[in-house]
């Protein structure tokens, strides 16, 4: 890595979290009937709380449709949350908009699963990387050109890429372009929404190595969303498991993997395919209805599929509480109350 100056924040904030999310909710209205009246809500994110420290990665895993991307979009303030709060470096950004939001558009960035969707295919890579500087009105033309070259170098792309278009690159290279753009303005927090899911394993590990290197170099914080627990565990300091809009378990990566408590986490781990044909695992396959966030089940939302469900699970909602033996390990399940 070369010595590009992506200046780190020099405020003394070593012990305060960079991001504090409290009881965050994002409810989408569901339109029904011929008058498109809004009756029900899709409770995509329904009361999520966590902190991220500077230089830390929090991993987020969970069922498809459980609200991971929506949570990420609330934090980057692409969405305005329905309720709860998002505090970034001691400033409440939950409801701010317009001019007030502008500095946070610089500090908080997002990387998407499919860079093709987020990269304008009619612009050259040079234009794409130049854009954040223009939007934020930073530097003159010469400075911007210098920075674009530096960015390409950081993410390992040849400088002649500047004149090329995104479709001329492979999936892995496009993801590098997306990463280069996301770090252009020296962000402090990056929401990575399945950044490696579409890539084959050798390219996937190149990108993971790059993200880890950038984090070390610039003290970046990540919220890292993915389906592959091995990938998430590799890059994360802590992991939160989500199910139907709520966090059901969270702890450091090692504990989530080795001492999983929530039955959903346990089935998630048991379902991971192992790259060894001799170990065709005798896995626990979930049966039962996959619930919808529009009509979530009463009680614990996992009870319709839970192999350990008890009577109380279908009428009483469990709370996310710390385990007595380990306060950083939290779980939301009646088995541990």
Partner 1 sequence: MSDALLSVDNLITEFETDEGRVRAVDDISFSVQPGETLGIVGESGCGKSVTALSIMRLLPQPMGQIVGGEIKLNGEDLTKLKLSQMEKIRGNKIGMVFQEPMTALNPVHTVGRQLAEVLYLHKDISKDQALRECLEMLDKVGIPSPDVRMGEYPHQLSGGMRQRVVIAMALACQPSLLIADEPTTALDVTIQAQILELIKELQNDMGMAVMLITHDLGVIAETSNSVVVMYAGKVAEQGNVYEIFDNPSHPYTRGLLDSIPKLETVPKSELSTIEGMVPGLLDLPVGCRFENRCPRRKESCKAAPPPIEVIAGSHQVSCYEWSKSVNE
Ligand X SMILES: Nc1ncnc2c1ncn2[C@@H]1O[C@H](COP(=O)(O)OP(=O)(O)OP(=O)(O)O)[C@@H](O)[C@H]1O
Residue ranges that bind ligand X, judged by CB under 6 A = 28, 42, 44, 62, 64-70, 171, 293
The least distance separating Mg ion from the CB of residue 170, rounded to whole angstroms, comes to 12
Can you read off the two tokens belonging to residue 288? 């039962």
By beta-carbon proximity to partner 1, the closer residue of 62 and 84 is 62
Which entry of ligand X, partner 1, Mg ion, none binds 67, CB below 5 to 8 A by partner kind? ligand X
Tell me the per-residue interface mask from 189 to 228 with partner 1, x by CB under 8 A, - otherwise.
--------xxxxxxxxxx-xx--x--------------xx
Q: How many residues does the chain have?
A: 337
Nearer to ligand X, 47 or 171 (CB): 171
Using rule CB under 8 A, residue 280 touches partner 1 = yes
Return the residues of window 238-267 that contact partner 1 according to CB under 8 A.
253-254, 257, 264, 267
Residue 273: CB minimum distance to partner 1, A:
3
Ordered strands of the 238-243 beta sheet? 108-111, 189-193, 221-225, 57-62, 238-243, 246-252, 326-331, 321-323
d(CA 159, CA 182) in angstroms, rounded, equals 18
Run of H or E residues at 45: strand 37-52
Query: Please, which of residues 47-86 interact with partner 1 by CB under 8 A?
Result: 61-65
Q: What is the dihedral of CA 52, 57, 63, 65, to 10 degrees?
A: 60
Sort strands 91-92 and 108-111 into parallel, antiparallel or unpaired: unpaired
Q: In the complex with partner 1, which residue's Cβ is closer, 99 or 278? A: 278
Q: Name the binder of 28 from ligand X, Mg ion, partner 1, none, CB < 5-8 A by kind.
A: ligand X
Kindly tell me which of 4 and 203 has the beta carbon lying closer to partner 1.
203
Residue number, 78 or 101, with CB nearest to ligand X: 78
Closest approach of Mg ion to the CB of residue 116, in Å: 13
3-state SS class at 215: helix
| Distance (Å, whole) CA 189 – CA 76 | 9
Q: How far is CA 176 from CA 26, 158, 237, in A?
A: 30, 11, 23
**Other CB atoms within 10 A of residue 253 CB:** 18
Q: Give SS3 for 168.
A: helix
101 vs 201, beta carbon nearer partner 1 = 201
Question: Judged by CB under 8 A, does residue 237 bind partner 1?
Answer: yes
CB of 5 vs Mg ion, minimal distance in Å: 34
- For residues 135 and 208, the answer to whether their CB atoms sit within 8 Å is no
Structure letter (DSSP) for residue 161: G
- Taking the complex as a whole, the smallest distance from the CB of residue 64 to partner 1 amounts, in Å, to 3
Question: Which of the ranges 41-49, 67-75, 158-166, 311-319 carries the binding residues for Mg ion, by CB under 5 A?
Answer: 67-75
Judged by beta carbon distances under 5 to 8 A according to partner kind, the member of ligand X, Mg ion, partner 1, none in contact with residue 233 is partner 1
Q: How far is the CB of 54 from partner 1 (least distance, A)?
A: 16
Q: Which of 22, 105, 123, 234 binds partner 1 (CB under 8 A)?
A: 234
Q: Is residue 212 within 8 Å of 235, Cβ to Cβ?
A: yes
Strands 189-193, 83-88: pairing is unpaired
CB of 223 to Mg ion, least distance (A): 12
User: Which of 129, 170, 178 is CA-nearest to residue 150?
Assistant: 129
69 interacts with Mg ion by CB under 5 A: yes
CA–CA distance from 86 to each of 7, 49, 97, 157, 270 (Å)?
A: 24, 9, 13, 35, 34
Q: What does the binding site for partner 1 look like in residue numbers (CB under 8 A)? A: 61-65, 170-173, 197-206, 208-209, 212, 227-231, 233-237, 253-254, 257, 264, 267-268, 271-281, 283, 285-286, 289-292, 295
Q: What does the binding site for Mg ion look like in residue numbers (CB under 5 A)? A: 69
């Amino acid at each position: 890595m070369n010595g590009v100056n992506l200046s780190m924040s020099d405020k003394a904030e070593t012990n305060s979290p960079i991001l504090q999310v409290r009881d965050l909710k994002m409810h989408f209205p569901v339109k029904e009937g011929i008058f498109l009246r809004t009756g029900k809500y899709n409770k995509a994110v329904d009361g999520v709380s966590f902190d991220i420290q500077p230089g830390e990665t929090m991993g987020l895993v969970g069922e498809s449709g459980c609200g991971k991307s929506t949570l990420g979009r609330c934090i980057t303030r692409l969405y305005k949350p329905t309720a709860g709060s998002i505090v970034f470096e001691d400033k409440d950004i939950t409801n701010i908009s317009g001019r007030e939001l502008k500095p946070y558009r610089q500090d908080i960035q997002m990387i998407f699963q499919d860079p093709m969707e987020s990269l304008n295919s009619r612009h050259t890579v040079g234009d794409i990387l130049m854009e954040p500087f223009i939007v934020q009105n930073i530097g003159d033309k010469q400075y911007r050109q210098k920075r674009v070259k530096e960015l390409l170098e950081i993410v390992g792309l040849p400088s002649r890429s500047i004149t090329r278009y995104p479709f001329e690159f492979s999936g892995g290279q496009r993801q590098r372009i997306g990463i280069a753009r996301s770090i252009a303005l020296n962000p402090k927090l990056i929401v990575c929404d399945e950044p490696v899911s579409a890539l084959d394993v050798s390219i996937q590990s190149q990108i993971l190595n790059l993200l880890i290197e950038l984090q070390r170099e610039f003290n970046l914080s990540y919220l890292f969303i993915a389906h592959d627990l091995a990938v998430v565990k590799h890059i994360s300091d802590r992991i939160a498991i989500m199910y139907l809009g709520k966090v059901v378990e969270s702890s450091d990566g090692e504990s989530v993997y080795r001492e999983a408590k929530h039955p959903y986490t346990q089935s998630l781990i048991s379902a991971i395919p192992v790259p060894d044909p001799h170990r065709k695992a005798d896995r626990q396959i979930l049966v039962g209805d996959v619930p919808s966030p529009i009509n979530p089940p009463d009680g614990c939302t996992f009870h319709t599929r839970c192999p350990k469900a008890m009577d109380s699970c279908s009428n009483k909602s469990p709370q996310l509480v710390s385990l007595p033996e380990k306060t950083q390990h939290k779980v939301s399940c009646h088995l541990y109350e």
